[in-house]
Amino acid sequence: MIRRLSGVLIALTLLSTAAQAADTGTKEAAAKGATAKEAAAQKAVPRSTATSVPIPSASPVAWTAEAAPYHGSRDNITWGGEGELRFGYDVTAGVSDPSWFSVGRVNGFMEAKLSSRLRLRGQASYDHVPDDFTLERAELQATFGRTHEVHAGIFLVPLGRTNLSHDAAAYEFWERSLVATQILGVPNAQLGAGMSGTGSWSHTTPFRYEVDLVTGFDDGVIMDASGGTRIPAGRNNYGDQNGLPAAVARFAIQPGRGEVGVAIQSGPYNQTHIAGGEVDGIRFVHVLAADGIAHAIGLELATEAAAALIDIPPGLEGLYAERQWGASLEATRTLRAPLFHAWRGTSLSGGLRAETVDLDAGLPGDSRTRVAASLNLRPQPTSIVRFGWYYEWKRDRFDNLTPLAGLTLTAASYF
């Protein structure tokens, strides 16, 4: 069974590779001069968000939509997509769960250049984490000055690097980090408006910023939360219930090939009135995120951490968390590129990740700690087949331990 499904995954990836290889002839200009190492360096660049995301990936190389090799393009409109298939075998405390085979993510995106300064961007995704379709972008962007822009509509809030850059094909692991999925709520796209841009200090240290007013998290943070406060349950794609905006901002500097970013989102999440009657005062959720990327001794190191403060109604105190935090550290490296001399653009890479989240800092339990390893084959920079393993120590509210582990085989590709 595993063998058959892995065959399907690899076949899908190779099919995608072949189709895209046929397209490379028309993209020679883009590809020409790019060595295999450069291609490998660009492996994590997410094309769907590259043009609009301030810090798109571990790599400081920013692809533009026009230069990206696998977009379709006609007149002033470019488009593309990505998909991910996932196969997994999970074990809980020595008892194997039913194996699963699922779609991880299907994503279509487009960009229309309305004028030299005006762009319309759209991106819709099915993502397995919310297990729902999400409009990740439906925004109008206007450039002013040389490096600044204003935007309005639905867009990915800049709450940490992973939310801005979470394309499956750009990622080295079978799953995003716990801090991203359990606290930051990736993918998290909200309705709002704001501005972003780039600059530099002393012409040596570039920086990027983004400041937005968005609808913010809604009362799902507690109303749809199962087993305590769950911020991702309050991500709201289309609107809000309380009519009060949340502020979100991110600032990142890029010394050398690295990056250090901090972000904050703060705003009310609850409903103060139900059926016309006042039921509560305004309550805030504050989420602080920090992320960093560094390159050292041949490794690409990436970290993301987050802390959240949630104002809980008095009737729920003690059961619903008022403080949460989490952190992850990833180390990846390209082990061989190209994998074979005759197969340019291929690479073999590996990754290790350690992470933890404490979903209720007021309790000894309600936490998850996980280690994961991944061995990845990229038949081309924009496709990946990953073999992964993870082991997790999951603690309930009593601090009772349940060990979880699994093997995964996943494949993702832009198309």
Site string for other proteins, 281-300 (x = CB under 8 A): ----------------xxx-
The nearer residue to other proteins, 24 or 92, going by C-beta atoms, is 92
318 counts as binding other proteins under rule CB under 8 A: yes
Residues 6+ apart with CB under 8 A from 266: 246, 247, 248, 284, 285, 286, 287
The nearer residue to other proteins, 15 or 93, going by C-beta atoms, is 93
- CB–CB of 248/159 below 8 Å? yes
Shortest CB 399 distance to other proteins, Å: 6
**Which structure tokens are listed for 306?**
């987050």
398 counts as binding other proteins under rule CB under 8 A: yes
25 counts as binding other proteins under rule CB under 8 A: no
Instruction: Find the binder of other proteins among 7, 239, 256, 313 (CB under 8 A).
Output: 313
Count, residues in the chain: 415
Of the CA atoms within 13 Å of residue 198, those in its CB half-sphere come to 16
Shortest CB 390 distance to other proteins, Å: 10
228 counts as binding other proteins under rule CB under 8 A: yes
Shortest CB 286 distance to other proteins, Å: 19
Residues touching other proteins, count (CB under 8 A): 51
Site string for other proteins, 96-135 (x = CB under 8 A): x---------------------------------------
18 counts as binding other proteins under rule CB under 8 A: no
**Which structure tokens are listed for 281?**
């005062």
Cα 382 versus chain centre, distance:
16
Decide: residue 28, CB within 10 A, 0-12 exposed, 13-18 middle, 19+ buried: exposed
Instruction: Find the binder of other proteins among 80, 160, 345, 406 (CB under 8 A).
Output: 406
Helices (H), 129-274: 161-164, 178, 220-223
Spell 67-102 as b/e; 16+ CB within 10 A means b: ebbbbeeeeeebbbbbbbbbbbbbeeeeeeeeeeee
Site string for other proteins, 76-95 (x = CB under 8 A): ---------------xxxxx
Instruction: Find the binder of other proteins among 30, 198, 247, 280 (CB under 8 A).
Output: 280
Look up tokens 């190209």; give the residue: 338
Site string for other proteins, 348-377 (x = CB under 8 A): --x-x-----------x--------x-x--
The nearer residue to other proteins, 275 or 342, going by C-beta atoms, is 275
User: For residue 249, which amino acid is it?
Assistant: A
The nearer residue to other proteins, 77 or 373, going by C-beta atoms, is 373
Q: How far is CA 153 from CA 83, 121, 188, 194, 238, in A?
A: 24, 9, 14, 9, 10
The nearer residue to other proteins, 78 or 367, going by C-beta atoms, is 367
Shortest CB 404 distance to other proteins, Å: 7
The nearer residue to other proteins, 280 or 344, going by C-beta atoms, is 280
Residues 6+ apart with CB under 8 A from 370: 178, 353, 354, 355, 356, 390, 391, 392, 393
Strand partners, 352: 331, 373
Binding site for other proteins (CB under 8 A): 91-96, 219-220, 222-228, 233, 270-271, 274-275, 277, 279-280, 297-299, 313-316, 318-319, 333, 335, 350, 352, 364, 373, 375, 389, 391, 396-400, 403-407
